[in-house]
Amino acid sequence: MTLRLPCAAPLLKTPPTAVLEGIAGFVPPDAVANDALPAAWGVDDAWVRRRTGIAERRRAAPGVATGDLALEAARQALAVACRPLVDAVIVATSTPDRPMPAMAPRLATRLGLGGSAAWDVSAACSGFVYGLAAAVGALASGCADRVLLVAAEVYSTLLDPQDRSAGIVFGDGAAAVVLRRGERDEPGGVLALDLGSDGSGHDLIQVPGGGALERSRPGEYGPDDRYFRMRGRDVFQHAITRMTQSAHTVLKRADWAVEDVDRFCAHQANARILSAVGDRIPVPGERHVTNIARVGNTGAASIPLALADAAARDELRAGERVLLTAFGAGLTWGSAALVWPELPTVPRIDDLDPAVRIPVA
């Protein structure tokens, strides 16, 4: 009698992942150069560039909200991917149009994708990487065949006019990627992810008011608590340490040596942080993907916006191994590794659509 053992091959098969098939970014047309910053801040172009590496940042026009920027970036990303059928929409943002409901269902309907699964991710400047992990999970589990992941911020709505430390850094923008279910060995496949958090640092980057705490304790909060606050010096070292550690974790999970990394794209916090993280991994500066000088820190949108910008300028080539890492409020952090795919022409991030000036209905 011959004993037939079950085939082990299915048990050893690598689970599916997300494969990038479209990307696009969008920034509002209004640019604020360093020389146009408020005189009361007492800064000049040289001072801002030296401290942050930023020359200008974009500001959404009055009446333009996060959902409007998200819509424009999503439309263009879907066009790059040849407008495929999408059955899940994820939005990563810290500046939603409303506290409730989530932005994603409304965005899906505006895109003609009503009926698809849709939800928001709130992980501050780590939001894109967290959203990427959520997309991988949805695709690998079979909950979706294709996911639209959008990261968008209108930080100008949170900035205190008297706070130059945040005002010189943050800008408004959005970016989107289209992801389909596929295999890790495909170009565009997400090979590895790492996520982490440390809630003991919750007060280092925050908007204290506007939530349930303020509503339940109105006497403890004032109008200024609706503004963004950050303890920059404390955040600086946390960001460098966490992004460096997370990047090394992802390299190990992807089975990459540091020398294997062709392009490195970190959250565009400020140029000094980017340089410090790159030095500690280490990845040479010529391999960095960055556009912070032209758009500032766009929060959750910063990584996909930098990637879309680089792709539009032919600075990202198919087959290049790309390392991503981010850090944000929470505290949260995360990293990802993928091999860049061959993509159709990606539009420039400042290609404008007049419809973006129409306020959200």
Residue 314: count other Cβ atoms within 10 Å of its Cβ.
9
Mean pLDDT of 294-322: 97
Helix (H, G, I), strand (E, B) or coil at 256: coil
Residue 321: count other Cβ atoms within 10 Å of its Cβ.
17
Give yes or no for residue 9 having a pLDDT over 50.
no
With bands split at pLDDT 50, 70 and 90, how would you rate the model's confidence at 12? low
Give yes or no for residue 133 having a pLDDT over 50.
yes
Q: Which two tokens stand for residue 297?
A: 């820190």
Task: Please name the residues in contact with 167: beta carbons below 8 A apart, sequence gap of 6 or more.
Answer: 37, 38, 41, 159, 160, 161
Hey, what amino acid is at 244? T
Is 297 labeled as catalytic in the residue annotation? yes
Burial class (CB in 10 A: 0-12, 13-18, 19+), 347: middle
Hey, what amino acid is at 147? V
DSSP 211: S
Q: Quote the CA–CA distance of 85 and 65 in Å, as a whole number.
A: 26
Q: Are 86 and 96 in contact (CB under 8 A)?
A: no
Helix (H, G, I), strand (E, B) or coil at 205: strand
The alpha carbon of 210 is separated from its chain's Cα centroid by a whole number of angstroms, namely 23
Burial class (CB in 10 A: 0-12, 13-18, 19+), 141: exposed
pLDDT > 70 fraction of the chain, expressed in percent and rounded: 93
Q: Quote the CA–CA distance of 142 and 123 in Å, as a whole number.
A: 24
Q: What is the pLDDT of residues 251-288, one digit of tens each?
A: 999 999 999 999 999 999 999 999 999 999 999 999 99
Q: What is the pLDDT of residue 350?
A: 85
* Structural element, H or E, at residue 67: helix 66-80
Q: What is the pLDDT of residue 351?
A: 66
List residues bridging with 338 in a β-sheet: 190, 322
Between 9 and 175, where is the model more confident?
175
Hey, what amino acid is at 63? G
Q: What is the mean pLDDT of the chain?
A: 94
Q: Are 139 and 18 in contact (CB under 8 A)?
A: yes
* Structural element, H or E, at residue 171: none
Give yes or no for residue 357 having a pLDDT over 70.
no
Q: Quote the CA–CA distance of 117 and 37 in Å, as a whole number.
A: 41
Is 125 labeled as catalytic in the residue annotation? yes
pLDDT > 90 fraction of the chain, expressed in percent and rounded: 92
Exactly one of 267, 270, 288, 291 is catalytic; which is it? Answer: 267
Mean pLDDT of 183-207: 97
Is 248 labeled as catalytic in the residue annotation? no
pTM of the model: 0.93
3-36 exposure pattern, b = at least 16 Cβ within 10 A, e = fewer? eeeeeeeeeeeeebbbbbbbbbbbbbeebbebee
Q: Quote the CA–CA distance of 136 and 140 in Å, as a whole number.
A: 6
Tell me the longest C-alpha to C-alpha distance in the chain. Answer: 90
Q: Quote the CA–CA distance of 241 and 324 in Å, as a whole number.
A: 15
Mean pLDDT of 152-158: 98
User: Strand 88-92 and strand 146-154: pairing?
Assistant: parallel
Task: Name the residue with tokens 């990394």.
Answer: 261
Q: What is the pLDDT of residue 353?
A: 47
Exactly one of 34, 125, 265, 288 is catalytic; which is it? Answer: 125
Give yes or no for residue 358 having a pLDDT over 70.
no
Q: What is the pLDDT of residues 208-247, one digit of tens each?
A: 999 999 999 988 999 999 999 999 999 999 999 999 999 9
With bands split at pLDDT 50, 70 and 90, how would you rate the model's confidence at 14? confident
Q: Per mean pLDDT, which range of 53-62, 151-160, 179-188, 345-354 is the poorest?
A: 345-354
With bands split at pLDDT 50, 70 and 90, how would you rate the model's confidence at 95? very high
